[in-house]
Structure formats: C-alpha cells, structure tokens
Copies of this chain bind each other. A is one copy, B any other.
Amino acid sequence: MASQAVTPQSVDFSKWYNEIVYKADLADHSPVRGCIIIKPYGYELWEGIRDALDKRFKETGHRNAYFPLFIPESYLKREAEHVEGFSPELAVVTIAGGKELEEPLVVRPTSETIIGEAFSEWIQSYRDLPLLINQWSNVVRWELRTRPFLRTTEFLWQEGHTAHATDTEAEAETLQMLDIYADFAITEAAIPVVKGRKSNIERFAGAVRTYTIEAMMGDKKALQSGTSHNLGQNFAKAFDIQYLDESNERQYCWTTSWGLSTRMVGAVVMAHGDDTGLRLPPKLAPIQLVIVPIFRDDDEKITVMAAVDRLKAELKAAGIRLHVDLREGQRPGFKFNDWEMRGVPVRMEIGPKDVSNNTVVLARRDVLGKAGKQFVSQDGIVAAVSDLLESVQQSMFDQATRFRDENIHDVNSYDELRQVVEAGGWARAWWSASDDDERRVKDETGATIRCFPLEQPGGKGICVFTGQEAQEVALFARAY
C-alpha cells in the first residue's frame, strides 16, 4: 500500500532507517533537541532486550541498584581522562528550587564517578569483594548530531559497575560481560557480532582496556553495540576505593564498567530490516504472531472468530506473544502489508475455508510472498507456530552471518584497505601503527578501527600502514 511505502534501502539506507523507525511506530519526534519519544512498540522491543540481559546479569551474581541522576560537577573532574572525554557533552543544572545552586549538578552521562564514591564507602575488606552492581537508567550526552536510537541526547541503558581484589578478576569480569553481550546479541537479537578490543584512541575515557561487540548493519557500516571496560585502578585511585586484604594491608580495588543501551533497538532495525520494513527476531519481537481473521459478512465472522478465539487461547497459554488484528474498514491485504512493515515474524491468516478445512495459513516475514506461506493443520498449532518462530530466528541469524562474512575482507596493503572501505565493506588488516596513523586512516578513508577481534589468525603479519611487523589484525570500517 502506498501509505506504507518507505524509501528502499538501496536508494538511501539512512533515509530508509529514519523513515521506518517512525512509520513502524518505534519512536516519535520530541520537542527536545536530540531526544525521541520511545513509543510503545519500540519500548516493548527495549523491554525484551532489558529482560534478556537482566536475567543474564542476575544469573552471574549482579544486583541492581539505583544512584542519583545528578552528579556534583567536582566529581567528574577527579579522573582526568574521564572529564576530558565527557565535559563537552554535559547538561548542567544550575537552578533548582528557584535558586542558583552553589555547585552546579551535572546530569549523569555515565555513573563511574558517583558509583565510585559509593564503592569507597561500601568496600572495607576483601570480604566485600567482588562487588557486582548494575543500574538501569537514563543518561544524557549532549551530542551534536543525533539519530533515533543510535545516538540521542537522552538514552536508556544499563551500566554495570564492579570492584575486584585483583587485576585478573577484573579482566575476567570485563570479558565475562562482553561474552554475555555477545551471547545476548547472537541468541536473542540474531546479530552475529564480532567481539574485540578497542584501539587506544577509541577506548572509554578513563579505561585501561575497552572491549566491544561490533555489528554489521544492512548497509555494511559498523555499529558498536555494547562495551565492557577494564578500568584498572584509575577510578579506584580517583575515588579512594580501597580494601583491607587478608594480611590486613590496604589495597586499591580493580574496577570495571559495561553498558548496553537503546542503541540496540537501532541495531536490530538496521541489521535485519529490508525494503518492506522491519524484520524483528522472534525472541525479541513484541508481537511474535499476528492473526488476521478474514470474513465478508457477519455469518463468516462468527465462524472465523470462534476458531480465532480458540487458537488464540491455545497459543497464549503456550506463551506466544500474539495480536489479533480486528481493525474494521481495512482489507486483509492492507493488514498483511502493515504487519510486514512492522516486522512481525509470523502472520496467521484464517478465513471460512480454512475453518472448514481445519487449517490456517502461516506466512513467515523473512520469506515474503508465496514461498513463505504454508497451510498447516489447526491441530498442533502451538508446535507449528513455535517451530516456525524458531526457524525464522535461525534463518535471520544465518542470513546476517552470511552477509557479515561476505563483507569482511582480508587486505594486505593500505590501498586494498581503502578499496574495501570505499566499496562499503570491512577490512581486516595486520596493524601495529601509531595512534596518529590510525587518525590519518580515519581522515583519509572515513574508517576507524572497530576492534582488534578476540579471534585472531595467530602468528605475525606485516602492518598494512607501516610495513613493520604486527602481532594483531584489526577490523576497519565506517561506523555509525
């Protein structure tokens, strides 16, 4: 239908994204610069992400807490790199309760500082370690250029903050949380992310090492989708987070932090969407199954709705998230298109003939048209729908993995790297050049080091930029 048409991805991917986010009712514009309204359909997608992560955090011993939105300005300044990284982006409260504040309050851009201060109180002895805390909250970063979900002035996220007795334990935690992010992305979001370490110039302000999961979007650009930071003793020293060890000596803790945000909603949209609209992975889809009853008159309606009500009850009892489209005045074809645009993984069509045949039509979103449709018996509908949802989930993951692998290219020279990046792919290159060289590549190609993948080819190679020996390959790509 004309009203659902979006700009094709091939014409302008960026425009496609901006259109579909609003058309599919994931978000709406807001009167506040750089902020969106997350509409119910988008928020339900975020709830799915949140619940899947929260379960994993709790299973690994983390507990949720909540720290103040406001941070005294002086706190930010205690860790030198941290304040340098964040100060250009701060929103500052200067007036409260009708009076000018003596010390301005910063709206948290992240909470290492205020949580660090609390940790210094909570931790006394080695018995208090490890301390494993997570917070679900909103944060504010005054970004110059914003895009719905991908980069907004205010966004929702979780930020984990932990303290440990040793560097080894902190590093293990940092990598454990990276694994949890990757497992979530792969298992729930059907996005085959690459795990890796950030380069010096891309790491978090105040971290010793930053790890990332990088996802390939439909236009082959990279999206940093979650990060996990080993903060070493930087914040422990800035905030005096110390513990008495078993020999009764004072030691600084080793801390970590890790975050994943509503940006993941954008990742799901851009990794899976097509010209028709969204394609939501069944495990995260707010609506996994939409039922479209088809009838021409009241008699048919009674017949069809009796079957629909029965099937709905069965499917709901099995925990399948479903919606019955009862909109009046809209033809089935319109509804089919509408739900395809909204990315619902499976559609059930049921009319009077289906009822008399004891069948329904199931149509899968990942295979449009007749090829994706099948008649199934109403008996055993739960198994049929469940199997189909699993199949859609798997095939979306497989498709995204193929797409990713087809578009990562090993390159042996800077020229090759440029060509690959120019053509929109990711270049994998041996790298041992300097931070300045990395900046030069960025200036010349628009690509950054997305990460040094944890999975390395092994051995040594020749740095594509300097011709010197290199220990690692890096992934270069243009990114959001």
Contacts and interface: CB of A to CB of B under 8 A. Distances in A.
A334 interface: no
23 contacts: A30-B68, A31-B72, A31-B117, A32-B68, A32-B71, A35-B69, A37-B67, A37-B118, A38-B67, A40-B63, A40-B64, A40-B65, A40-B133, A66-B156, A68-B154, A69-B107, A69-B140, A88-B98, A90-B97, A91-B93, A91-B105, A97-B142, A107-B107
Interface in A6-32: 28, 30-32
A139 to B, nearest CB: 10
Contacts of A104: 95
B94 A90 contact: no
A336 interface: no
A265 B368 CA distance: 50
A114 interface: yes
A89 interface: yes
Nearest to A68: B35
Nearest to A139: B69
A43 B30 contact: no
A142 B101 CA distance: 12
Nearest to A118: B37
Given A69-B107, A94-B94, 9 more contacts: A30-B67, A32-B72, A32-B105, A36-B68, A38-B67, A70-B140, A70-B154, A90-B95, A138-B138
Contact of A37 (B68, B94, B105, B137): B68
A240 interface: no
A92 interface: yes
Nearest to A105: B32
A300 interface: no
A183 interface: no
B65 A43 contact: yes
Interface of A: 28, 30-32, 35-40, 43-44, 46-47, 63-72, 75, 87-98, 104-105, 107, 114, 117-118, 121-122, 133, 137-138, 140, 142, 144, 154, 156
Contacts of A142: 96-97
Nearest to A29: B121
Nearest to A41: B63
B114 A93 contact: no
Contacts of A118: 28, 30, 37
Q: Closest 8 A-B residue pairs measured CB to CB?
A: A97-B142, A40-B63, A35-B68, A38-B66, A91-B96, A92-B95, A32-B68, A96-B142
A91 B95 contact: yes
A65 B42 CA distance: 8
Nearest to A137: B138
Nearest to A63: B40
Given A40-B63, A64-B44, A64-B47, A138 B91 contact: no
Nearest to A135: B43
Each complex incorporates copies of this chain amounting to 2
Contacts of A144: 97
Contacts of A37: 65-68, 118
Contacts of A71: 32
Nearest to A88: B98
B92 A94 contact: yes
A254 B114 CA distance: 42
A104 B89 CA distance: 16
A179 to B, nearest CB: 23
A114 B66 CA distance: 25
A138 B69 contact: yes
A88 B92 contact: no
A97 B88 CA distance: 5
A118 B40 CA distance: 13
A194 B90 CA distance: 45
A37 B118 CA distance: 9
A49 B275 CA distance: 42
A43 B66 contact: yes
Contacts of A107: 69, 93, 107
Contacts of A47: 64
A114 B31 CA distance: 8
A87 to B, nearest CB: 8
A114 B29 CA distance: 12
A36 B69 CA distance: 10
B96 A31 contact: no
A360 to B, nearest CB: 26
A187 to B, nearest CB: 23
A89 to B, nearest CB: 6
From A46, A66, A117, name the one whose CB has the most chain B CB atoms within 10 angstroms: A66
